[in-house]
Amino acid sequence: MDRSQLLRGTLDAAALAVVAEQDGYGYDVLRRLRAAGLADVGDASVYGTLRRLYRAGALTSYVMPSDEGPHRRYYGITDRGRAQLADARTIWRDFSRALTDLLEIDVEVTA
């Protein structure tokens, strides 16, 4: 199984979940995703995803001055983003349950 392929399909939900927890700027979201276990998530993927979610209205954004460099663009979740996240949760729950069942049966058979 290719992790990067899995990530590609689930990064929207992951990014929405991180921002829903707390507003964050690009690198902050990236760090939190990695800290959550998605160590191999790509920088460009996260930034691009955030921009796309913002353009789609799932995220809102505001600029905060920073002492340590350029201004940071923070993202917050919108109602639309929350709805999208709720949908993603349902899909993931069903999907992962199904796949878990399938894969664990397979393990038992081969074991």
Partner 1 sequence: VNATRAVRPEVTAYLDEVREALGDVPPDERDDLLAEVEASLVETAEESERPIAARLGPPDAFAAELRSAAGLQTADGQGRETLATRLAERVERALADPRLARAKALYAELAPIWWLLRGYVAVALIALLAGRDWTDRVVPHLPRARFGAAAILVAVVASIALELRARRAQARQTASAGVVVNLVLLVAVVPVVVHLLHTPAPAVVVETVTSPANERGLTLNGVPVDNIYPYSRDGRLLHDVLLYTGSGRPLDVKSVAADPLRRVPVSRGGARLYNAFPVRYYERGTHRVAQPDAGPRIALPRFRTPALKASPRTAAKRPRRSGANAARARIR
SS3 61: strand
Least Å from the CB of residue 100 to partner 1: 27
Given the structure tokens 């809102």, which residue do they identify? 60
**Position 18, amino acid:** V
Q: Closer to partner 1 at the Cβ: 66 or 100?
A: 66
Q: Closer to partner 1 at the Cβ: 91 or 101?
A: 91
User: What are the CA-CA distances from residue 13 to residues 24, 31, 63 (Å)?
Assistant: 15, 16, 23
Q: Closer to partner 1 at the Cβ: 42 or 76?
A: 42
Q: Closer to partner 1 at the Cβ: 17 or 50?
A: 50
CA neighbours within 13 Å on the CB side: how many for 52? 11
d(CA 81, CA 67): 30
Least Å from the CB of residue 92 to partner 1: 19
Least Å from the CB of residue 55 to partner 1: 6
Contact 77, 58 (CB under 8 A): yes
Binding site for partner 1 (CB under 8 A): 11, 25-27, 30, 42-52, 55-57, 66, 68-73, 79-80, 83-84
Least Å from the CB of residue 43 to partner 1: 6
